Amino acid sequence: MSTVAHVSVTTEPISVTSLEHHVTTLHAGAVVSFSGDVRDNDHGRQVLSLEYEAHPSAQSILDRVVADVATRFEVAAVAVSHRHGPIAIGEAALVVCVSARHRGPAFDACRALVDEVKAQIPIWKHQVFADGTDEWVNCA
């Protein structure tokens, strides 16, 4: 049985290390982590700043998505956090950690969680570029 150890949509900084503590267990031989970090470029343009805006339903939808993915894979525990608000270049915007008895299910569940979060969570990205343009993207 999978444990949903932590799920949050937050304005606070997040890190792989903090979420790994939620999923580490003596029953699991694999811990797979993903950190989606804010980069300084997108499609050949320099990014000066980035901000995520979250719909009020983002937390409840994230809760549902994480619970659904956790039941589809043989994992011990999962933890997911997504930030919103202004996020500095180099900081994590999305962190996913999964533990399982073996690496295969841990990798598969981690990838599925990242893909489902990006597809379903109502969080919009606003990027400001060095050339004076900006862009809103409906993605996580």
What residues make up the domain containing 42? 3-137
Domain tally for the chain?
Answer: 1
pLDDT single digits (tens) 72-113: 999 999 999 999 999 999 999 999 999 999 999 999 999 999
75 and 105 in contact (C-beta within 8 Å)?
yes
Reported confidence tier of residue 138, pLDDT bands at 50, 70, 90 = confident
Exposure of 16 by Cβ count < 10 A (0-12 exposed, 13-18 middle, 19+ buried)?
middle
| Cβ-Cβ contacts under 8 Å for 134 (sequence gap 6 or more) | 126, 127, 128
What whole-number distance in Å separates Cα of residue 93 and Cα of residue 103? 24
pLDDT at position 58, please?
98
Residue 136 CA to residue 83 CA, distance in Å, equals 16
Q: In which element (H, E) is residue 95 found?
A: strand 92-100
Q: What is the CATH number of the domain that holds 108?
A: 3.90.1170.40
As a whole-number percent, the residues of the chain with pLDDT over 90 amount to 96
Q: Is the pTM of this model over 0.75?
A: yes
Query: What is the pLDDT, as a whole number, of residue 139?
Result: 55
Per-residue pLDDT reduced to its tens digit, 103-130? 999 999 999 999 999 999 999 999 999 9
